Amino acid sequence: MHNQALNRILEARHHDPFSFLGQHVTHIDDEKYYVYRTFLPYASEVKIKTEDDWVDLEKTHQDGLFEYTSPVAFKTPCLLKISTGEQCYETNDPYTFSSSITQDDLYLFGEGRLKLAYKMLGAHLMTQEGVAGVRFAVWAPNAERVSVIGSFNNWDGRIHSMRTHGSSGVWDIFIPGLTNSDTYKFEIRNRHTGGILVKTDPYGFEFEQRPGTAAKISDSHHQWEDRQWLEARKQRDWLHAPFNCYEVHLGSWQRNKKGHFLTYRELAKTLVPHVVAMGYTHVELLPISEHPLNESWGYQTTGYFGVTNRFGSPDDLRFLIDAFHQANIGVILDWVPGHFPKDDWALARFDGTALYEHEDPRLGEHQDWGTYIFNYGRNEVRNFLISNAYYWLQEFHIDGLRVDAVASMLYLDYSRNPGEWIPNKFGGRENLDVIDFLKQLNMMVGEDFTGVLTIAEESTAWPMVSRPIYLGGLGFSMKWNMGWMNDTLSYIENDPVHRRYYHDKLTFGQLYAYSENFVLPFSHDEVVHGKKSLLDKMPGDAWQKFANLRLLTTYQMTSPGKKLNFMGNEIGQGREWNVNTSLDWHLVDNQYAGHEWHRGIQKTHTDLNNLYKTLPALHTLDFEHQGFEWIDCHDTEQSIISYVRRGLDNSFVIIVLNFTPVLRNQYRIGMPQAGTYHEIFNSDASCYGGSNQGNSDSLHTENVPWMHHAQSLVIKLPPLAAIILQIK
């Protein structure tokens, strides 16, 4: 037995090295003795500490096995003095520490209910049995042996083989003396094939600079100063509060003069003031978990728990989020639980089998993106994702998760031809495991993080995405309104002379506008891959392009629903978004010849953002039909629509939009209430770059019935413009 165990240690095949290495009871001539063994292939001499002195261990195998037998037990954890020929150092033996992982945690992990799984798995600085070091743990149920390899053991998988926790599939080891300057990976020998894989930590908090893929031992020291924000968040009535989100890709929002990334701390000095000055309420960050390729925008995640080091450390990111909160800006994280890349050093075939993904490509491969799909029916995989969401919300004070590509998750036949997918147990196309996972996610967020939002990017008519679970919904707070976005852009891209033929694209959305809690998005997806920038989508000459863009922005900001705009929209950037360069900030610089046009777009956004935020009529009933009423949606020939927006406080504003370049001098509209009105916004004002066609400060209603109203008003309606009227 001794030789068999020794051979397995020497070959790095032993599934339970703790049963052979360390201190164990043995019997010699029926007498009880203690045998101590350590395997140190780079050591020339090893001593062990007794109560009184150091004792030399005997090298019993040329490859590095050292032993000592004594009638008296050594104090654990055993302290060693190791000589390698080049250096001599003292350390405690990892194989004389007990495991600090509890059976309760293992049970909950196996059930898929360990929300703090990231505190059990991964690498954690801690003090164990009075000794400082790092506990490593990983889930690899199909491994014969798992080792920690790193900068501290010459990346040699023989030295720090881990202990297994039975059928849980969890392995762990405590290694003393390590610090947050050390890097590591896991070396895994598959039990079926004997093949050896080298993998980065699925629960790693930090990683080395790409193209390196090793995880780094991480520690946090940030002292949060956002308690006031978090307390207010718990009390916020988000259903009736303004939500106007600025979507940002940190690597291309702005770069320094050398073209390098700004750090998280530099962004706290530049991005935060910009978001505040523009009047947004929230910022949404494209994925900031670790990913190897800039061009993936962060959607090809290899380190779900790792903060990308492109811009700094995890504490640097905490500093940025803290700065947003102190400026009263919420932070939404773009989160990607729908798929993961096939990089052989990351999650893919993690222990030599389809562990995080499905084995069958009809379930486990995403054909559009060349990625793997998570096996949501496996408890430990679901736990990985739930714990990841919990991690971002708990450890980084994130205010919401925008869940990417929900439609691709919900449908088994998403982007697949007949025969390329497997129906569920009822013969349907719905992914039942995903439904359960999303409900579990939203329940966790609602129970543990009051006031935190979950937002679904779901592009189909799946019912009740943003309705409570107890009513049969998926439980999301909000859903992106992709139908509104597609209809609106396809309408406004038409030349104004043809828009009368597509008038229904402006009106159809009201038929379903309150079936979900909708966000109206003009996101990054609309300004890449040949789709052109928002400005470049607009028809006509330069004046008409800018007028159309101001009109489009006003339509979005006054329509029912919360708002989202991608960076660059607010300055009327002319080219598509390029992930590898900064936005064209020179467009609003005084030295740029056409800066007045772009500054006009920026001021349009700023003024509308502030109106949306301060006028209850524009936000308190975003999700309820009582907040909207058509005045006229039938003026097809003139391409004009008009409507009322109402607030919970019974306040209201009138919005009239003219989608043609024709000035309407005597345009009559019905009014819901008699009185004197004034123009509080006009997208054609000269300060926005318009022709400055507007109305006097006092507009009096007339007792002329119009559009089903007893009173009406005659107004001047500027070309390609929108006005907002308010009663005095």
The pLDDT tens digits of the residues spanning 524-570 come to: 999 999 999 999 999 999 999 999 999 999 999 999 999 999 999 99
Residue 193 burial class via C-beta count within 10 angstroms: exposed 0-12, middle 13-18, buried 19 and up: exposed
Would you call 498 exposed, middle or buried from its count of C-beta atoms within 10 A (0-12, 13-18, 19+)?
Answer: exposed
User: pLDDT grade, residue 2 (50/70/90)?
Assistant: confident
What pLDDT is stored for residue 64 in this prediction?
Answer: 94
The residue from 93, 247, 399, 404 that is catalytic is 404
- Rounded CA-CA distance 597/576 in Å is 18
Q: Which long-range contacts (CB under 8 A, 24 or more apart) does 63-67 make?
A: 63/10, 64/39, 64/40, 65/6, 65/9, 65/10, 65/37, 65/38, 65/39, 66/37, 66/38, 66/39, 66/40, 67/35, 67/36, 67/37
Is 596 annotated in the active site? no
Tokens of 530: 């040949």
CA distances, 697 to each of 655, 669, 717 (Å): 16, 17, 14
Q: What percent of the chain has pLDDT over 70?
A: 100
**Rounded mean pLDDT, 165-192:** 95
The residue ranges of every structural domain in the chain are: 2-96, 103-216, 624-727
pLDDT in tens, 488-502: 999 999 999 999 999
- Mean pLDDT over residues 578-593, rounded? 94
What's residue 28's pLDDT?
A: 87
One-letter-per-residue 3-state SS of 595-663 = HHHHHHHHHHHHHHHHHHHHCHHHCCCCCCHHHEEEEEEEECCCCEEEEEEECCCCCEEEEEEECCCCC
Q: Tens digits of per-residue pLDDT, 224-270?
A: 999 999 999 999 999 999 999 999 999 999 999 999 999 999 999 99
For 123, the 3-state DSSP assignment is strand
| Distance (Å, whole) CA 456 – CA 227 | 27
The DSSP letter of residue 24 is E
Q: Are 320 and 349 in contact (CB under 8 A)?
A: no
Q: Using an 8 Å Cβ cutoff, are 494 and 508 in contact? A: no
Q: What are the distances in angstroms from CA 251 to CA 450, 577, 583?
A: 31, 12, 10
pLDDT confidence bin for 340, thresholds 50/70/90: very high
Query: CA 176 to CA 87: how far, in whole Å?
Result: 18
Task: List phi, psi (to 5°) of 595.
Answer: -65, -30
Report helix, strand or coil for 399.
Answer: coil
Angle between helices 314-326 and 227-235 (to 10 degrees): 60
C-beta separation of 9 from 31 below 8 A: no
Name the pLDDT band for 52 (thresholds 50, 70, 90). confident
Mean pLDDT of 450-479: 97
Q: Tell me how far apart the alpha carbons of residues 399 and 158 are, in angstroms, rounded to a whole number.
A: 44
pTM: 0.96
Extended beta strands in 99-243, E state? 122-128, 131-139, 143-150, 163-164, 170-176, 183-190, 196-199, 206-207, 215-216
Measured distance CA(206)–CA(222) in Å, rounded: 15
The catalytic residue among 201, 322, 351, 457 is: 457
**CA–CA distance, 492 with 482 (Å, rounded to integer):** 15
- The Cα-based distances of 502 to 82, 375, 460, 560, 643 in angstroms read 81, 43, 22, 21, 18
In the predicted model, what is the mean pLDDT of residues 605-615?
A: 98
Determine the average pLDDT of the residues in 437-456: 98
What CATH number is given for 624-727 in this structure? 2.60.40.1180
What's the distance, CA 87 to chain centroid?
A: 46
Can you give the pLDDT at residue 86?
Answer: 81
Nearest CA to 307 among 118, 178, 459?
118
| Tens-digit pLDDT profile for residues 289-320 | 999 999 999 999 999 999 999 999 999 999 99
The answer to whether the beta carbons of residues 639 and 601 sit under 8 Å apart is no
Judge whether 357 counts as a catalytic residue.
no
Res 522: pLDDT: 98
DSSP conformation letters of 353-394: S-SSB-SSHHHHEETTTTEE-B-TTSHHHHHHHHHHHHHHHH
How far is 560 from 623, CA to CA, in rounded Å? 7
User: What is the rounded average pLDDT of the residues 193-218?
Assistant: 96
DSSP string computed for 44-80: SEEEEE-SSSEEEPEEEETTTEEEEEESSPPPSSPEE
- Cα–Cα–Cα angle for 217, 219, 223, rounded to 5 degrees: 165
Asked: is 103-216 a CATH 2.60.40.10 domain? The reply is yes
Spatial distance between the Cα atoms of 373 and 446, rounded to a whole number of angstroms: 26
Listed residue (198, 166, 194) closest to 183, CA to CA? 198
Select the more confidently predicted residue: 697 or 576. 576
Q: Where are the beta strands (DSSP E) in 659-710?
A: 664-671, 676-682, 699-700
What's the start-to-end Cα distance of the chain, in Å?
Answer: 94
Predicted local distance difference test score (pLDDT) of residue 181: 84
C-alpha pair distances (Å), 221 with each of 209, 316, 318, 347, 629: 21, 10, 10, 29, 52
Q: Do domains 103-216 and 624-727 have the same CATH topology?
A: yes
Give SS3 for 190: strand
CB 612 within 8 A of CB 595: no
Residue 723 makes CB contacts below 8 A (sequence gap 6+) with 655, 656, 679, 681, 682, 683, 684, 694, 695, 715, 717
Beta-sheet strands, E only, within 239-281 = 244-248
CB atoms within 10 A of CB 343: 16
Mean pLDDT of the residues in the chain: 96
- Hey, how many other C-beta atoms are within 10 angstroms of the C-beta on 665? 10
Tell me: the pLDDT tens digits for 345-385?
A: 999 999 999 999 999 999 999 988 999 999 999 999 999 99
Question: In this model, does residue 193 exceed pLDDT 80?
Answer: yes
pLDDT of the residue at 574: 96
What CATH architecture is 2-96? Sandwich (2.60)
Residue 1: predicted pLDDT = 59
